[in-house]
Amino acid sequence: MPPMVTVVVALLAGLAAGSAARPLIFARAVPRGEPNRTACPSCAAGYPSPGLRGRLQAATGRCSSCGSKAGPAAGLPELLTGVSFAALAAAGASGWAGAAQYWLLACGAALTVIDLKVHRLPDVLTLPASAGTLLLLGGAALAGEPGSFWRAVAAAAVVTAVYLVLVIAAGMGMGDVKLAPAVGALLGWTSWTAVLWGVFAGFALGAVAGLALILTRRASMKSSVAFGPYMIIGALAAFTLST
């Protein structure tokens, strides 16, 4: 088990990453086709207010000018990213491959908040998630860490192709397709078995969540499910268990 100081540092880094992502989440958490938000919908004040004080006030989930609800709920992205980073550190994530996990999680936490709210995965997060994951895994290969960069590239292509087929066959969103290279690459770094289990875990988690929503009458058989969070959780869980 890693030293507690490592977990605490990861927690603090995650809190900072979540805070940094809050304005981006605020801007992009709008229905597809609508313009990005840059100001409070109630009073048109800029969000967040300039400076450290403005960012701290934004973390309350309310506008610093009028006090109305603005942006993600109080502490949500900060705690989501902070706790997730701490969990990764406790699981022993390290090196360049560990950095790839943290990067995917940082992007994924913001994507999760947006996807659960408006059912979309914006390019401004999915494309950097995929590019950054591949770049960091390239660093892992150059550093001689155990794994295969070329298998990661191949897995990224295969998983993306699978999701492209699902766009046609099952109405999967293109945001999921753009996130697929990151998921495939991270899993492929370890093994093809991890790819199979990670992709399966994502679909299994999504199915369970969808069934729970139907049973609680919060959704119907025709409702869409925010699938991005389950892709990320499944990939990170399978990667951790396979290393």
**Has residue 216 got a pLDDT over 90?**
no
168 and 187 fall within a common domain? yes
107 and 87 fall within a common domain? no
pTM of the predicted structure, to 2 decimals: 0.91
Number of folded domains in the chain?
A: 2
**Has residue 19 got a pLDDT over 80?**
yes
The domain in which residue 59 lies consists of 1-92
Alpha helices in 119-191 (DSSP H): 123-142, 149-170, 174-190
**Has residue 33 got a pLDDT over 90?**
no
Rounded to whole angstroms, the Cα distance separating 59 from 18 reads 10
**Has residue 2 got a pLDDT over 80?**
no
Task: Look at residues 49, 68, 92 and tell me which one is the last residue of a structural domain.
Answer: 92
Rounded to whole angstroms, the Cα distance separating 197 from 183 reads 12
117 and 65 fall within a common domain? no
132 and 218 fall within a common domain? yes
Report the percentage of the chain scoring pLDDT > 70: 98
87 and 103 fall within a common domain? no
Rounded to whole angstroms, the Cα distance separating 121 from 176 reads 7
Mean of all residue pLDDT scores within the chain: 89
Lookup: tokens for 33: 């086709």
110 and 48 fall within a common domain? no
Segment 227-236 shows an average pLDDT of: 92
Among the ranges given (16-20, 135-139, 174-178, 222-226), the one the predictor scored with the smallest mean pLDDT: 222-226
